[in-house]
Structure 1
């Protein structure tokens, strides 16, 4: 039933830690999900330095989805979007042929407070890799939820448990937030070829074996799986159909290595527009020196 258990690998971003889960050497993707990072949990002090912010940077070939359990992040992008994201909401940004954005911890800087959430990247099918960039924000009240037998669930993106989120996905997938009481049981949908569960807190048992916070369980295709909460637990389910292999380098995802090289050249040369409301700095390509403000700002 469990094909692989992945332990998140902690990385210090100069002010807080993230737990990297995907990509993993033995499992690059789950369905279209190609990147999965746990941000926090951390308690930020008021006066947090700006160096902790994620400065403007580019993406191609993917959609990003930021989902918070606690805290607030301010998103700004090259489409002119300025949108805070708060717990239970969805920021769904489609890079397609190219987008840039920043993520700022402005509320924490003013007030201090907790930060805890997930950033995931969903690779686009080849037919949509060069689609026009876009951004959608969906409030928590507009996402479908259910509650039954000690399990509360919200469909964040895609379709699962007979419910569908109002987010414009490009391939069959599901992304679900579960909150389980101790002793509760939840069946993992088996209508997708690839499925996994990330344990954000607490612990669950599968086939009599216990797994804990920070682990992602990748399940055998099409086999029935039931999660049994050994204690109160928060789970993120991710599932979908495979879309084929992808190259990933820095913030770029593509079915073509040449396309990634082109994106790197475009960023290096200043041909990717910076966010309209955040255009005074940016992150250079890894290993390359910082440069003056991007001329496309």
Structure 2
């Protein structure tokens, strides 16, 4: 751990179990009975069956008050059930909020929205770090009391710039990286270091208009709907698992500037939802897709 002082948003005292396994009878009963035997008060439970892939996916959250297993002992006691059903599982604790780094370039609308929602308690996480390849958002970071690091990125210094970014992620114990209109393509090494830990906002309704200047390309194509997409980052540009999308209708009267303005509203909403669902442990990934539990 580092000694950097950061704001921590209060979190409820719950545990969340995320499960992926081959679909079979008795899974829900086994989990419910296990939690009952250890005096768990289940708050939320949701499940999904994918018949095509013969998969069962589940999220169950319970109150830790009265639960008679310590988190450190959970794996030992749950091992028999996990082995019986060939489960891949994760246990998440609300008392350990994720530490989030935000990366941004010049456009600040998504950054401002995330910081505002965090301050108001809508995003229950810690945001100790903002990294940018421009200095435009330094004042905004200072206003919200978040450490700001300017790292210039050019074609001939990208490995060195990313090395400095990696060092900061380690220093601040970062769990999730959010690209809030960070207008740089991450290297394969960057993506490989943080699998399923990078969320990007793309300013189009993917898979349409992958890459740069999507609003200009949408205008040239004469589309009637524009959108925004929050997705996990993979090595293939703009093709990672999609978390959230939204759209807005436009007309022949709208110019490129109108598309950009309407799109910014979509980008803010979509990115904040994607980040919220991740930090609330509502997402399971498989086959380059996501399941978002209520």
Structure number with greater Rg is: 2
Structure number with the bigger relative contact order (C-alpha 8 A, sep ≥ 6) is 1
TM-score normalised per structure 1: 0.25
TM-score normalised per structure 2: 0.25
Question: Higher strand share goes to which structure?
Answer: 1
Question: Higher helix share goes to which structure?
Answer: 2
